[in-house]
Chains A and B, each alone.
Chain A
Amino acid sequence: MILFLILDKAPGGPLAPYLQNPHITPADIARLKHNLGLDQPLPVRYVKWLGQVLRGDLGYSTSNSEPVLQAMLERLPATLELMGASTLIAIVVGIGAGIFSAVRPYTFADYFITTFAFFGQSMPVFWLALMMQLAFAVHGIPLPFGYQIQLPSAGLADNVDSFSLGDRLSHLILPAVVLSVLSLALYSRFMRSSMLEVTQTDYMRTAAAKGLAPRTIIFKHGLKNALIPVVTVIALSLPGLIAGAVVTETIFSWPGMGRLFINALQQEDIALLMGYLCVIAFLVVLFNLLADITYAWLDPRVKYD
């Protein structure tokens, strides 16, 4: 089943930029003809390009004057750091808030959280970032924003020595919080409805009848079952997270892949754009796979063979 899924989804990566190829080529054909060999027919070029991608060669970035793969790998840690931190915030706070409002439905606290979640979902990421900057940077609440420490060209090891963890975190916190809000709102809404459903099941009533403490019932019996649909939502929210990262990185000058992408866009660096789309498509497929695995772990009834 898993294998089938990979095989099924794998065309997503290389095929999608291919779908755009007709749009790309006429635009830049004059400029790029000499180094891309665009005089060959489209299918030939596509097969050649696909072959290169499969060997890990994403082409040469014209705006950065280095191979695309290298340019992206350099910025990948920063992006992963940002996305990881914000996902962590979103999962912990979102699921926590979801459980919190599900165990006391239709109370003031519940309405407060649901309303907050609706606001979070309706807010453009970039505007939230601006408002954060207005509050923290302009009106003197001391949190540094913007630049992250200069990325070293030779790995992160020496970087960690010269900069304290606290400094790193203080730069990370604003962008990470901004990026997490959308997913946070989403998770809390799904967690709430899923948990509400679970609390009405028979096994929960049985657990309560056995005289278990409410805490044990919710966390031991309820949580694992209620998490099942939420896991899907978390995996499916990755594209949104990537899109959000593009915006957040641009606003906070975060040296990650998203900003690289925007720069490439402004300089019409086709190879880099294609490479970026490939990498994120790959990430999305990978996460769908992870979600399926987590699914099987959470719900023994799901079997893949």
Chain B
Amino acid sequence: MSTGSVLISPAGIEDDDLQMTKVTFWRRLRRHRLAVAGFVVLAFIVLCAVFAPQLSPFDPTYIDPHWQGNPLPPCFVNSSQCAGHILGTDEVGRDLLSRLLFGARISLTVAFFAVVMEVVIGTILGALAGYYGGWVDYVIMRVTDVFLSIPLLPLLLVLTGIVAASSSKASLSFLTIVIIIGALSWPGVARLVRATFLSLREREFAEAARAVGNNDFRIIFRHLLPNAIAPIVVQATLDVANVIVLESTLSFLGFGIQPPTASWGNMLANAQATLEQAWWVAVLPGLCILFTVLAINYIGDGLRDALDPNMR
């Protein structure tokens, strides 16, 4: 990284850097077989979610007239009673497979948008704290400490409970959940970005960027941020997994996505009551969560190894 190239093209060096690492990045990632498997599984689940309306044999809110109070069994358990429901029905006679497919949509989109929000807030605040230091850093980090000293789940529960109580509608909208999760989970990202920026701002290229008269905004977003992308991407990936579990827990407890909209979490909410007659109601949505989260965790692990082997 010579100062000469900085003078010729201020932003060029980071691009060159990225070009070089891109090749090694893909090679390393492909070597991580579990991450590749994770990608395949995740791609499959995403496709299922996208094409849920086409793939579903029933409407996810349709109640089968064959239903007599007990969940109908899956066809592979009892083919004479299943009435065409491949994976059986839930406790009120809705097709389980269709609900799983539509549940994938909800669970994945909530996780995706919540993490996007979390990353945007966390990155901006972390960047400001790390770049400016001083009182800006102090204020932002104290707020972060406050958030981190309270476990996320109870805080989320309180907020969703209060929002639900204060809104005139009985149910919480999808958007509300996304905003609440996103607004509360950024401190982790902020800390990470701050730590990265603290070391980046002392590097020569940052000094050079300053020397040639770039303003702070440009230095932060054009020069420093591209170099901080790797840890952010890893953190974001792992957070998608966390948010899926978080959302399912919220919905399970009745404070997340509200029925009749299916989410993997609220499908399990009443499973405890029918556990004795209908294991499939309890097992299948959980397996969906488990494999999705597992796939994403392995991808995150692979990304971490591929982007920077020294990071952990």
Contact = CB atoms under 8 A, between A and B. Distances in A.
A108 to B, nearest CB: 16
Given A125-B249, A130-B268, A261-B154, A268 B297 contact: no
A247 B161 contact: no
If over half of A's interface residues share one DSSP class (helix, strand or loop), that class is named, otherwise mixed; here it is: helix
Contacts of A23: 159, 162-163, 166
A240 interface: yes
Nearest to A190: B312
A138 B275 contact: yes
A256 B163 CA distance: 25
A240 to B, nearest CB: 7
A118 B34 CA distance: 11
B277 to A, nearest CB: 9
B275 A250 contact: no
Nearest to A138: B276
Contacts of A273: 158, 161
B153 interface: yes
A242 B154 contact: yes
Contacts of B159: 20, 23
Contacts of B275: 130, 133-134, 137-138
Contacts of A28: 165-166
Interface stretch (A47-55, A61-69, A216-224, A277-285): A277-285
Contact of A250 (B152, B158, B253): B253
Interface in B242-264: 245, 248-249, 252-253, 255
Contacts of B285: 127
Interface stretch (B71-79, B98-106, B126-134, B140-148): B140-148
A246 B271 CA distance: 18
Interface of A: 8-9, 11-13, 15-16, 19-20, 23-24, 26-28, 118-119, 121-127, 130-131, 133-134, 137-138, 193, 238-240, 242-243, 246-247, 250-251, 261-262, 265-266, 268, 273, 276-277, 280-281, 284-285
Interface of B: 142, 145-155, 157-159, 161-163, 165-166, 241, 245, 248-249, 252-253, 255, 265, 268, 271-272, 275-276, 279, 282-283, 285-286, 289-290, 293-294, 297-298, 312
12 contacts: A23-B159, A122-B293, A123-B289, A124-B245, A124-B293, A130-B268, A130-B271, A247-B253, A261-B154, A265-B157, A266-B161, A280-B154
